[in-house]
Structure 1
Amino acid sequence: MRPGNLDTSERPFVLIWELTQACGLACDHCRADAKPQRHPDELSTAEGKALLEDAAEFGDGQLVVLSGGDPLVRDDVPELIAHGDDLGLRMTITPSGTGSLTADRIEEMADAGLKRMAVSLDGASPEAHDAFRGEDGSFEETIRAVEDAREAGLPVQVNTTVCQQTVAELPAIRDLLTEIGAVMWSVFFLVPVGRGRVLEPIAPDRADAVMEWLHEVSDTEPFGVKTTEAPQYRRVAMQRRADEDEGGQSGGRPGPGDGIERRTGIVAGDGFAFVSHIGEVFPSGFLPESAGNVRDRPVTELYRDSELFRSLRDRDNLSGKCGACPYRHVCGGSRSRAFAHTGDPLASDPLCPFVPEGYDGPLPWDDTEGDARGVSTGD
């Protein structure tokens, strides 16, 4: 959930910088379609430092995620972390689970001022995770890195992709997170871009069921839970609370006075911004439509003033059932998934099964509806 005082027209909650698209893994879901070699036109160390200086203009404590590919393909990561930390940025990183993530490099990043490290686990066993990641030994390397991070006093977040191949693993991954002492579980609902186009997403009704289960997990487990590219999680949580509250609206639908219009969720371009390895500024890494390049204009200016970002921040611009939805200001739908399916970032999110009362327009999930199976918890 977003901080209540953050004005997302002025600054993003999360600014992601893709340092490189180079990576030694060949993950099935890879947004970047990563390659072994680095791109010759990547932002240099000096350009990266200038980007961080511009990012600091968003305000104190701006969250910056160093991403990839595998960011540790670059040797300047500790230098960049230290520079960002000196500027007052909250520096975090999402490295790949490979041999590059050594205990020494983790300690070096922690000493430079890194605030959190995120690793990916898409299965609770070596067989399941390594098959998804395309590399034998990735699971063991990831678990070893988590232990090394704990030794360095560095909090660890776990990222998990949800698709047909991984959804049955979620309960076991939940148990593993408690065992390894993760502080946050970020659950990413597949957007079909990059290599992820060949994966099968779960159906809309099943997505809602998984999100209801995740809401239960957030109430019972010692780690936090957040979703990525699934803003409907906010609607699901609100409906669940309303159903549990005797005074709630019938069916969990929003009513007057419940404050929904004043609480907006974070979606691509509205709370998120992504800087590519060559400096292009996208609303998210899963919505590859550029607002400009940081080599030409500051990231602050592109985020605040570009037509693309401004249009995404106006929820009344949404079309289809997302535009008619009473939850559009707390959810807004995945703009990345809408773009991936239609080429229009303002179209309806095909993962959401909620149909607004009285809406009789086209529905976006015709190819996937009908699968209402929930996640099996094994309890």
Structure 2
Amino acid sequence: MGSIDLQLENVNEDAELLKAHAEVYNHLFAYADTLALRAAIDLRIADIIHSHGHPMSLSQIASKLESPSPDVTCLARVMRMLVRKKIFTVDYNNTSGEEIVPLYGLTTTSMWLLHDQDLSLAPMFLTFTHPWIISAWFEISRSIKEGGTPFEKAYGQSFWERAAEDPEFNTMFNTGMAAATKPALDAVVKGYKDGFSELKGTLIDVGGGIGRMIAKIVKAYPHIKGINLDLPHVVASAPQHPGVTHVGGDMFKEIPNADAIIFKSILHDWTDEHCLKILKNCKKAVSQSKGKVIIVDVILNPDGKGLFDDAVIGCDLWLMADCVGGKERTEEEWRKLLKEAGFTTLNVIRLPTIMSLSIIEAVPQ
């Protein structure tokens, strides 16, 4: 029996070693998933299939690409990866003579990648896989050893400074952020219904980009006077929205007086020290008896098993790599930060939406 037990033990050890070996290889090539999907979005493959109205062959897809001589073999290999990852479907039951012609179709996932759909995530995906953003990650190990932000080590300036100097990237980034905001807007408008209904006067969306969120809020609650506050170069490209005034400014210097202030996915871009400065400016801007701050952001759960918990951990690393000390925070960290800034956390509302966003409601102490 002893020799059999030893053999079984060796088999189990070998199986575990092989499993671990495979795990390393899967991590090694994990970037292939992301960049193959980026290529498909860049080529508008989902849009091509959607416009066609039903599944297409590789040659049909290739004929719609903006290229006089597309490489169909290369396209086939990218599609093979994306079918495996359930981005697209493939049907091998179609034949042309004796040849089997695979037909590629859309999935629920690829429907999110259509460029011209209102809830498209394509602009966000192209933004967050931009070479600028990816290359900063190569400086993470140096930042761990030396301190500092990986992006600044890569480019000698902050992400925000570089974005401000490049109008094309700035437009793409703002479009990406607006696209990321779209799926969450209805959840915010409905999830904070009582708060918005009771609000009287002015609501400022700090860091509101091109004003999409504040416009949605004002449309649903027209008694609210909306102000969209962002950097001058950002609001310069913002469209006009009924009931919303665009204001160019700097949240680190001053926030205009308001009855309430809302942030969506802004404070996670910054260190606690930066956030304290912003929140203290908020405290100066709102009534000490009736004012409030509404934070729409991620609440990190390190051991969470939810749909977006892995993505939240990944986003936390993106913030570390590309923003000036940005990070995702646990509920305890949010409460502590607000308390240090002179606010009391009244309520935390979990939203059933993208990235498991929550609404954190706070009032001056």
Question: Could you tell me the TM-score, scaled by structure 2's length?
Answer: 0.29
Which structure has the larger Rg over C-alpha atoms? 2
With a CA cutoff of 8 Å and minimum separation of 6, indicate the structure with the bigger relative contact order: 1
